[in-house]
Amino acid sequence: MAHADQITHSPTIRDIVRRFYTVWWMYAFAGGFLNGVYPVFLHSRGLSQLQVNSILTTYFVVILLTEVPTGAFADAFGRRLSFVVGMVLRSIAFGLYFFSYTYVGFIVAESIDAIGTTFISGSIDAWGVDALDEAGYSEVKDRLFSRVMQFMNVGFTAAAIIGAYVAVIDISYPWMLGAVGYMVTAFVGARLMREGKGPQGGFKLRSIPSLVATQISISVRYGFANRAVLLLSAASAVGMAAWSPYWLEWPILLTGDYGQAVWVVGWVFALLTFARVAGSEIVMRLPQSRQARPARVAMLVAGAAAMFFVAGLFGAHPIVTFSLLVAMNALNGAMQPLTMSWLNEHIDSARRATLLSFNSSFAMFGGSIGLLISGYVVDRASIPAAWQLGGVIALGAIPFYLALRAYAPAQTVAARVAD
């Protein structure tokens, strides 16, 4: 009730919260037109599955290389400018996708899109949190971010359905929708993201290499010193290796092997998204127990892996396969809030950004390896075969979660590193 009262009785806070939600929803909506139809588009341009997967691998790698310098740019010149630059870059990338017909062209477009993403990532949250703090908002912000995720899912899903119907006319048109959507969002965001403090001085381009090297050194040092974060990061890497290729493969199975129209992809994406949201809501309503969490997460991983493997076994039966995928997404949705809260509990607040970056780096590395392996298997065998392999790989995360039944408190990490 305190949360609701503070928003209701403070016009300034209420206005900031409304603008915060609006920017996030518009950003999600603008980028959602390609959800589902993205791999179908690339296949229509003559790319193999390995090439399709390698393009997303490029996205991961470029983000790893540019996340720190673009973050420094945002801190130096302001979150609003960083957001606008990122939106313009993503709009340019989507335009290049629309006109490209070659693998190299798509790699270039994806690289620009990744750079644009790093300019945006964190800028909205940082602006919103700073603006709320300056306005005197003192409540825990968990509910705000939970509501943001709900708005984003609505935006993604609505845009995915629209994009799939537009793709029936021309498979490349969703790229133009996204490009225009990003430009509109850049304009609206520039109007809504008012910053009370000016840019921080002292930022120089020549300082970027040393900044990156320092950040990597700190991230590796503290990441490997914190046993819980290291185990959770390793589990994230295994999970990303197993699950990330699947998002580029089910639309191909649906429209290719099963012969469904492109517009069906949008509705299936909506169904899978709903399953993840439902799983997350259900698990958050269950009694919370730190002691039971390792076993609970391990059981969710085992269940999702089994669903994935069996979906591959029954790849010739569309209804059975996608019913299992819906169940798998529900289990993965239930897993996400548990692992995220678990990770944050083991991070000292002074090193939160550094260790979250460490975890993200592990996840992207695992996802990159999984994408390349899965793409190779699909081209040599089939999508169902790749999913069976993915189910087996996913089981590899279970030992890491179970090993966390005994862990060192987050407060001891800083002292251990100092020693």
Domain shared by 150 and 215, yes or no:
no
Which residue among 169, 203, 237 closes a domain?
Answer: 203
* CATH number of 360's domain: 1.20.1250.20
CA angle 22, 41, 174 (to 5 degrees): 30
Residue 234, domain extent: 211-419
Q: Are residues 86 and 221 in the same domain?
A: no
Tell me what the mean pLDDT of segment 288-292 comes to.
74
Answer whether residue 359 shows pLDDT above 70.
yes
- Tell me if the pTM is above 0.85: no
Torsion of CA 358, 362, 365, 369, to 10 degrees: 180
Please give the Cα distance from 299 to 303 (Å, whole number).
Answer: 6
| 257: Cα separation from own chain's centroid | 28
Q: How far apart are the first and last CA of the chain?
A: 44
- Do 368 and 244 share a structural domain? yes
Under the banding of pLDDT at 50, 70 and 90, the label for residue 348 is low
* 369 close to 60: Cβ distance less than 8 angstroms: no
Residues 217, 196 within the same domain: no
The answer to whether 128 and 16 have CB atoms below 8 angstroms apart is yes
Reading the block at residue 56, the tokens are: 């997303």
Residues 186 and 256 in one domain: no
Average pLDDT over residues 252-276: 94
Percent of the chain at pLDDT exceeding 90: 52
Domain edge (last residue) among 149, 174, 203: 203
For the chain, the C-alpha Rg in angstroms (whole number) is: 21
Distance CA(59)–CA(110), nearest Å, equals 6
Q: Is the pLDDT of residue 85 over 70?
A: yes
Low-confidence winner among 35-39, 87-91, 108-112, 124-128 (lowest mean pLDDT): 124-128
The mean pLDDT of 302-319, rounded to a whole number, is 95
Helices (H) and strands (E) in the chain, counts: 19, 0
- How many Å apart are CA 126 and CA 74, to the nearest integer? 9
Q: What is the mean pLDDT of residues 38-66?
A: 93
In this structure, what token pair is assigned to residue 178?
């996204």
Question: Which tokens sit at 409?
Answer: 């408190």
Give how many domains the chain has, as a whole number.
2
Q: Distances from the Cα of 108 to the Cαs of 90, 305, 344, in angstroms?
A: 12, 34, 35
Q: Which two tokens stand for residue 232?
A: 């959770």
∠ CA 313-317-321, rounded to 5°:
65
Dist CA 62 CA 67 (whole Å): 8
Is residue 192 located within the same domain as residue 269?
Answer: no
Domain final position from 203, 222, 244: 203
Give the residue among 189, 164, 182 at the shortest CA–CA distance from 174.
Answer: 164
**Residue 96 to residue 138: CA distance in whole angstroms:** 44
Question: Are both 123 and 22 inside the same structural domain?
Answer: yes
- Residue 165 shares a structural domain with residue 184: yes
Do residue 403 and residue 270 come from a single domain?
Answer: yes
Helices (H), 121-141: 123-134
Q: Which residue carries 């990330």 as its tokens?
A: 244
**Same-domain pairing of 193 and 232:** no
Question: Contact 235/345 with Cβ under 8 angstroms?
Answer: no
Q: List, as one string, the DSSP characters of 34-77.
A: GTTHHHHHHHHTT--HHHHHHHHHHHHHHHHHHHHHHHHHHHHH
Q: What share of the chain is helix, strand, coil (3-state, %, to 5)?
A: 85, 0, 15
Instruction: State the chain's mean pLDDT as an integer.
Output: 84
- Domain match, 20 and 158 both: yes
Are residues 182 and 220 both part of a single domain? Answer: no
For residue 283, what pLDDT is reported?
77
